[in-house]
Amino acid sequence: MKRLLVIGLLAASAFAWAAGSVTGEVLEVQQVDSYTYLRMRTANGETWGAVATAPGIKKGAVVTIEDITVMNDFQSKALKRTFKTVVFGTLAAGPGSAAGKSAPVSPHTGVPKAAEALDVKVPKAVGANARTVGEIMAKPGDLKDKPVLVRGKVVKFSGGIMGRNWIHLRDGTGAAADKTNDLLVTTTEQAKVGDVVTAKGVVRVDKDFGAGYVYKALVEDAALQR
């Protein structure tokens, strides 16, 4: 009966993967600081997944990773190896899951619905190269590889992915219709949703992180000021 259940779940996972999740049988577990790496057998073949530390997961369990980001040729310093493919995401609730814990969230998924409802109105930064979110997103080509200073409210934070933290900033400028109201910023510094920060970094244009995630504009390697 258990084997039939596993087969049924694996058969469905090919469709789930395309929809933003992957289901598989755990073949191997590797625990490192803050993460649990899982080698999984899925309908698409074997793959590695990475979720927030989940000590309850054992070999033979069937798990689902949601809100996934597929990373190719990913280097893990903790494990001292390069993975051909790793699926980063959040472990779905269930036996051995990290429900209730702070789980890594894909930087490429949308801003949470709760954040969408925030009434964001943040004054423009003051100083050399100061720009609003709307100004950067409207004409990123004019600012390509140039330093900027931008102030906004953190509406999404994804930490410790690819050696950096990923922050979505909004300041009330731009428009949701053409997605010029949201700016992605990468940094090694910490922040939390609701913080108002000033980010100083460099504008990058048409940045391709693989797996189909291409950004029209973002600010990289930013220093944060409160």
Average pLDDT over residues 88-117: 54
* Domain coordinates in residue numbering, the chain: 2-91, 113-225
Contact 152, 171 (CB under 8 A): yes
Q: Does domain 113-225 have CATH number 2.40.50.140?
A: yes
Tokens of 47: 């793959």
Q: What is the pLDDT of residue 7?
A: 43
> With 80 as the cut, is the pLDDT of residue 180 above it?
yes
Average pLDDT over residues 189-199: 92
In sign, the C-alpha dihedral spanning 66, 68, 72, 74 is: negative
Is there a common fold for 2-91 and 113-225?
yes
pTM across the whole model: 0.57
Q: What is the pLDDT of residue 106?
A: 54
- Average pLDDT over all residues of the chain: 80
pLDDT band at 109 (very low <50, low <70, confident <90, very high): low
**Can you spell out the DSSP letters for the chain?**
-HHHHHHHHHHHHHHHHHTTEEEEEEEEEEEETTEEEEEEEETTEEEEEEEE--TT--TT-EEEEEEEEEEEEEEETTTTEEEEEEEEEEEPSSTT--TTS-----TTSPPPHHHHT-----PPP-STTEE-HHHHHH-GGGGTT-EEEEEEEEEEEEEEETTEEEEEEE-S-S-TTTT-S-EEEEESS---TT-EEEEEEEEEEEEE-STT-EEEEEEEEEEEE-
> With 60 as the cut, is the pLDDT of residue 124 above it?
yes
Average pLDDT over residues 130-142: 96
> With 80 as the cut, is the pLDDT of residue 40 above it?
yes
Q: What is the pLDDT of residue 169?
A: 95
> Do the bridges between strand 45-52 and strand 81-91 make them parallel or antiparallel, or are there none, so unpaired?
parallel
CATH of span 2-91: 2.40.50.140
